[in-house]
C-alpha cells in the first residue's frame, strides 16, 4: 500500500533532447498528494516537455521518474532509452489524466460519448455506471445540457470543460494540464479557470503548465519557474510570484504583466 506521504509523481535529474537541442537539463519535480504544482516560464523553456515526460508521452534520455513510489523501468541509454515494461506504462497512464491545450475531443462522438470512451475501452468498466458518472461530471463542470451535442457545437470554453470531465472520468490519481486556457479568449478562459479552482479546492493532485500568473497564484501550493531547460526558481506562489529573487524571473513576470 502506498504511504500517504509518498508523492504521486517524483522526477529526479531529468534530461530530454530533441536531436541536438537540449530541452530539459537535469530537472527535479515533486507533486505531493493533494498538491497543485504550476510550471511557468517563457515559450521553449521546457514546461510542456516536462509534463509530457511525466506522463510518458515523451521518452527522456536520463533521470528517474516515480509514480506513487514505483520507479519507471527503462531499457537502453541516451537517445535509445525507452520504457521497458509496456504494461507498467499503460497502468500508470490510466492514473495520470492529461488535459491538452487544444481539447483533443473526438469530433464524431457526442460529448457524453467522449467522456465515457476511455473508461469503457481502456478500463472495461460497466456501461451504465460509466454513463451515470459521466453525466455527473458534465454537471460538475457546468455543461450537463451539452451531453448529446457534438464538439463542433460547443464554444472553446465548453469543449475544454468537456475535456476536463473526460479526464476526471478515469478517476485519476493526478491531473496534468498543458496550457488549458491559452487557446481561449478571456471570457471563456474564466469558465475553465473556475473549474480548475474548484478541483484544487477539492484537494486533487495537479500539475499545471500555465501562462496565467493569476491562476498559478490562486491554485498552486508550489510554483516552478523554468528557464532554458533548468529550474531557475521555485517555491510557494507568495514567494515566487510576489517576491522573485532571480533577475530572469523578475523580467518574465514584468513581461507577463505588461502583456
Strand positions, DSSP E, the chain: 9-18, 21-31, 36-40, 62-67, 70-71, 74-75, 82-83, 96-99, 174-178, 206-209, 222-227, 230-235
pLDDT of residue 4: 64
94 vs 55: CA distance, rounded Å: 10
Report if residue 113 sits inside a domain: yes
* pLDDT tens over the chain, length 259 residues: 455 689 999 999 999 999 999 999 999 999 999 999 999 999 999 999 999 999 999 999 999 999 999 999 999 999 999 999 999 999 999 999 999 988 899 999 999 999 999 999 999 999 999 999 999 999 999 999 999 999 999 999 999 999 999 999 999 999 999 999 988 888 889 999 999 999 999 999 999 999 999 999 999 999 999 999 999 999 999 999 999 999 999 999 999 876 6
Report if residue 165 sits inside a domain: yes
**Whether 254 contacts 74, CB under 8 Å:** no
**Whether 238 contacts 251, CB under 8 Å:** no
Q: Which domain holds residue 136?
A: 98-171
- Cα-flanking dihedrals φ and ψ of residue 201, to 5°? -70, -20
Report if residue 137 sits inside a domain: yes
209 vs 39: CA distance, rounded Å: 5
Report if residue 26 sits inside a domain: no
159 vs 91: CA distance, rounded Å: 27
pTM value is 0.94
Domain count, the chain: 1
Report if residue 189 sits inside a domain: no
Report if residue 107 sits inside a domain: yes
pLDDT of residue 186: 86
Report if residue 37 sits inside a domain: no
CA atoms within 13 A on the CB side of 251: 6
pLDDT of residue 216: 95
Report if residue 147 sits inside a domain: yes
pLDDT of residue 28: 98
Amino acid at each position: 500500500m502506498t504511504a500517504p506521504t509518498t508523492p504521486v509523481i517524483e522526477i529526479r535529474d531529468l534530461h530530454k533532447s530533441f536531436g541536438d537541442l537540449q530541452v530539459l537539463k537535469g530537472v527535479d519535480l515533486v507533486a505531493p498528494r493533494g498538491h497543485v504544482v504550476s510550471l511557468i516560464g517563457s515559450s521553449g523553456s521546457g514546461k510542456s516537455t516536462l509534463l509530457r515526460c511525466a506522463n510518458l508521452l515523451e521518452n527522456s534520455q536520463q533521470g528517474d521518474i516515480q509514480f506513487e513510489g514505483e520507479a519507471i523501468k527503462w531499457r537502453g541509454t541516451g537517445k535509445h532509452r525507452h520504457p521497458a515494461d509496456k504494461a507498467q506504462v499503460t497502468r500508470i497512464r490510466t492514473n495520470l489524466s492529461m488535459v491538452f491545450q487544444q481539447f483533443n475531443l473526438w469530433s464524431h462522438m457526442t460529448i457524453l460519448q467522449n467522456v465515457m470512451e476511455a473508461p469503457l475501452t481502456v478500463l472495461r468498466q460497466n456501461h451504465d455506471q460509466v454513463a451515470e458518472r459521466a453525466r455527473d461530471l458534465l454537471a460538475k463542470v457546468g455543461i450537463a445540457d451539452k451531453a448529446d451535442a457534438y464538439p463542433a457545437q460547443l464554444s472553446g470554453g465548453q469543449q475544454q470543460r468537456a475535456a476536463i470531465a473526460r479526464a476526471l472520468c478515469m478517476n485519476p490519481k493526478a491531473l496534468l494540464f498543458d496550457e488549458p486556457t491559452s487557446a481561449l479568449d478571456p471570457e471563456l478562459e474564466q469558465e475553465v479557470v473556475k473549474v480548475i479552482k474548484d478541483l484544487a479546492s477539492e484537494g486533487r493532485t495537479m500539475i499545471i503548465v500555465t501562462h496565467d500568473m493569476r491562476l498559478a497564484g490562486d491554485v498552486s501550493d508550489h510554483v516552478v519557474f523554468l528557464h532554458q531547460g533548468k529550474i531557475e526558481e521555485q517555491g510557494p506562489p507568495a514567494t515566487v510570484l510576489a517576491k522573485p529573487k532571480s533577475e530572469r524571473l523578475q523580467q518574465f513576470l514584468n513581461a507577463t504583466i505588461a502583456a
